[in-house]
Amino acid sequence: MLDRFDMALLNLLQANALATAETLAAEVALSPSAITRRLRRLRESGVIARSVAILSPKLTDRRLRAIVQVQLHEHAAQKGLADLRQRLLDSSEVQLCLEVSGTFDLLLLIVSADMAAFNAFADAQLAADESVRRYETSFVKKEIKNQPAVPLNERDLGDYSG
């Protein structure tokens, strides 16, 4: 069960995953030891899936980033689709892979060293795959906002079945 204390902790951790139990206790009306126990439970239950470092654009701006929309063949074999999804999951170039509605079936965010590396990825992972009908690419010119946090509210209270 998630309660209002869990929700408050999760919102704070999304802003700063390195916050100590003492720092969190200043914001949430719980003792540091109670916060530590809750955080352990939230991690063990899978509510907190992982903690990551988001790098500064000053370090990463030289990378080529592309948004790729992928349309799959309607009658593609399930094994072929499963293999494509697994390759995308395993690929270090794929930062985000979403199954979407509309004209396209998948939306990918790709990061590569340069255009040659992107072309090698696209040729090997997309163009050569029989499940892929077509794909369109847009290149990221400038990052305006990158906020992966999901604000939680009262709707999110209650049972969590991970």
- Say if residue 2's pLDDT is above 80: yes
Q: What is the pLDDT of residues 55-89, one digit of tens each?
A: 888 898 899 999 999 999 988 888 889 999 999 99
Better pLDDT: 160 or 28: 28
Let me know if domain 4-53 sits in CATH 1.10.10.10: yes
CATH number among 3.30.420.310, 3.30.70.920, 3.40.50.11540, 3.40.50.300, domain 57-139: 3.30.70.920
Whether the Cβ atoms of residue 8 and residue 27 lie closer than 8 Å to each other: yes
Q: What's the token pair of residue 79?
A: 């094994």
Strands 64-72 and 94-99: unpaired
Whether the Cβ atoms of residue 133 and residue 73 lie closer than 8 Å to each other: yes
Q: What is the pTM of this model?
A: 0.84
- Say if residue 148's pLDDT is above 80: yes
Average pLDDT, the chain: 93
